[in-house]
Structure 1
Amino acid sequence: MLCISSVSALETEGSQNALSPGESYLLSVWHHRLYLYSAAALLFGVWFLLKVALNKKSFSKDVGPLVSKAVRRSEGSDAVVHLSGVKVFYGSQTGTAKGFAKELSEEVKTLGIPAEVIDIKDYDPDDRLSNECTNMSVCVFLVATYTDGTPTVNAEWFCKWLEEASTDFRYGKTYLKGLRYAVFGLGNSVYVGHYNTVGTNVDKWLWMLSGMRIMTRGEGDCNVVKSRHGSIQADFLAWKVKFLTRLQALAKREKKSCSGNSTSGSSCQNMKKEQEEGRGSACTAGQQL
């Protein structure tokens, strides 16, 4: 047995001695292949981690300006103009509503907001009213109720068109979607059956066409006995203060008017003065507006 082992060892040694240097190298590599695999895996892992780190750095460099730009754009969106101006329409018989329209327009301008006074008879609603839905303006309608609950002469066509459009399928229920509006009606509660009929109807018809009220309809009462504030002038003044406050909020300005932080303090003082003076003035029960 010992002889056989010795012979085998001699044969193996002889066979190794018979191998060329290249074959010996390959045989050595084969015997140590596990170590080589481990080293290769380690190198690959290091290479992969370096590549990930470099890509991450490059991504941050490329995305950084985009993120900053997006943030600036988001911050800048707060400065977007949400109110381009105010259009004050009036329907008046003797001039009261017209006077209120001019007064309101001047107050709006003190807030730095453009304002325009429009005689409603000079305005073609069929051609122009739908444009008010997209121009970022606010439309204010100061309309008086005339004899037997009818509109004033200068508002007849506008009211007739608006009433018909509100039920006409050709216009559709969303014809005035996007229109922002407010209504103040002028009337006399002595005529119970027709008190502020026109203001109520204009508000209703605009709403039926998907117009958006920015505040509740106001009502001025020429009957000093039942007027909420003592006179129609005081009724309008109280509504006007609320309207201007609402307007400031829409324009992304001061949320409260007549406050310590108001940018129009002098205007607010004028309002308070007018309110006290307005309580002392009244129109007669039979006066038309």
Structure 2
Amino acid sequence: METAMITLLLVSAELLGYTLGAEVEGPLKNTHRGTEGYFLSVWQNRLYVYSAAAVFVGIWITLKVTLKMRKVGGPVKPVLYSTAVEENEDKAKEEKVFVSVVKVFFGSQTGTAKGFAEELAEEVRVLGLTGEVIDLKDYDPEENMSNECESRVVSVFLLATYTEGTPTKNAEWFCKWLEEASTDFRYGKTYLKGMKYAVFGLGNSVYTDHYNTVSKNVDKWLWMLSGSRVMTRGEGDCNVVKSRNGSVQADFKAWKNRFIDCLSVLAKGEKSPCGSKCTNCTCKKNEKNQEQIGHTSDEMKQSSE
């Protein structure tokens, strides 16, 4: 193919020389010789030309393939990256769950405390948390109480005071065990360390000597075993004349609303239930009550010794 092209060019040059005549014979012959020499040089060095062309084609193909791979493979990295980010975010969310379960224990004689427990558990579920209602009659504190110290659990005790300041029938064993454990060296002062709890009592202020005795005692015993209050103890008064809100139901509703607010803050990981924007001094009252109960318990221990 290349030989044919060179021959064709040489023949054309010869014909052109004969056509133009003698005047241009010399220049044409020079041109002929120059052209012939050029093509002969190219032909003799054709291996170098082929090599250069092969290198050029190889580089061109390599660049084209590389660019194509980048276009095809480019979107994969962002997808993998976004997937990894989503997985990390999911793990972070799981690690940031500070409260997952609220256990509502009740001691009830007429059913009022039980109804309050079910109402509170329903409010807890609205927050997206698990709300459990537990009858103290079916609860064995000796086997299960230490489980309530799990960091994501909040325990609530709704306790009615029966005649002569005694617990209701379904809460008798729980109260007896807790009282003994609070002073038993086998359990120790830190037995319930890490437990988060709140107490609401139901009573009647007509019986002044025994008004809400059970809730006061349970609150004290839990604290003596190093439990941590998430808010101050609440009191519901069946005596509508002296009830702060007009009825025991209204008293519970007011306390329940405050508890839900504190629970919302706890679920965000705040160390203080009231957070950093406390305006009702609940935390200060809580600290004072803890100090007062602490002094009382110390005095009781000293007197017993």
TM above 0.5: yes
The alpha-carbon distance between structure 1 residues 162 and 253, as it changes in their structure 2 partners (threshold 3 A), is closer
Does structure 2 conserve the Cα–Cα contact (< 8 Å) formed by 1:173 and 1:210?
yes
Q: C-alpha distance in 2, partners of 1:77/1:227?
A: 43
Aligned counterpart, 1:158: 174
Of Structure 1 and Structure 2, the greater helix share is in 2
Aligned counterpart, 1:33: none
Aligned counterpart, 2:252: 236
Aligned counterpart, 2:148: 132
Matches within 5 A, 1:39-118: 76=92, 80-118=96-134
Aligned counterpart, 1:221: 237
> Which of structures 1 and 2 has the larger relative contact order (alpha carbons within 8 angstroms, sep 6+)?
1
* Normalised TM-score (structure 1): 0.61
Q: Structure 2, unaligned stretches of length 5 or more?
A: 1-84, 275-305
Moved over 2 A (4+): 75-79, 253-256
1:42-87, Cα deviation, whole Å (9 max, x unpaired): xxxxxxxxxxxxxxxxxxxxxxxxxxx9xx79x9379511012100
Aligned counterpart, 1:173: 189
Aligned-residue identity in percent: 71
Q: C-alpha distance in 2, partners of 1:231/1:80?
A: 39
Aligned counterpart, 2:202: 186
Q: Which amino acid aligns with 1:248?
A: S
Does structure 1 conserve the Cα–Cα contact (< 8 Å) formed by 2:106 and 2:158?
yes
Task: Decide which structure has the larger Cα Rg and report it.
Answer: 2
Aligned counterpart, 2:162: 146
Does structure 2 conserve the Cα–Cα contact (< 8 Å) formed by 1:221 and 1:227?
yes
Q: CA deviation at 1:132?
A: 1.0
Q: Secondary structure at the match of 2:170?
A: helix
Q: C-alpha distance in 1, partners of 2:234/2:105?
A: 15
Q: Structure 1, unaligned stretches of length 5 or more?
A: 1-68, 257-289
Q: C-alpha distance in 2, partners of 1:116/1:253?
A: 21
Aligned counterpart, 1:250: 266
Moved more, 76-85 or 169-178: 76-85
Does structure 1 conserve the Cα–Cα contact (< 8 Å) formed by 2:98 and 2:151?
no
Q: C-alpha distance in 2, partners of 1:230/1:148?
A: 24
Q: C-alpha distance in 2, partners of 1:112/1:253?
A: 15
Does structure 2 conserve the Cα–Cα contact (< 8 Å) formed by 1:84 and 1:135?
no
Q: C-alpha distance in 2, partners of 1:209/1:77?
A: 32
> How many residues get paired?
185
1:15-57, Cα deviation, whole Å (9 max, x unpaired): xxxxxxxxxxxxxxxxxxxxxxxxxxxxxxxxxxxxxxxxxxx
1:84-113, Cα deviation, whole Å (9 max, x unpaired): 210000000010000000000001101101
Does structure 1 conserve the Cα–Cα contact (< 8 Å) formed by 2:141 and 2:177?
yes
Q: Secondary structure at the match of 1:88?
A: strand
Over aligned residue pairs, what C-alpha RMSD do you find?
A: 2.2
Q: Which amino acid aligns with 1:230?
A: G
Does structure 2 conserve the Cα–Cα contact (< 8 Å) formed by 1:189 and 1:226?
yes
Q: Which amino acid aligns with 1:87?
A: K
Does structure 2 conserve the Cα–Cα contact (< 8 Å) formed by 1:92 and 1:143?
yes
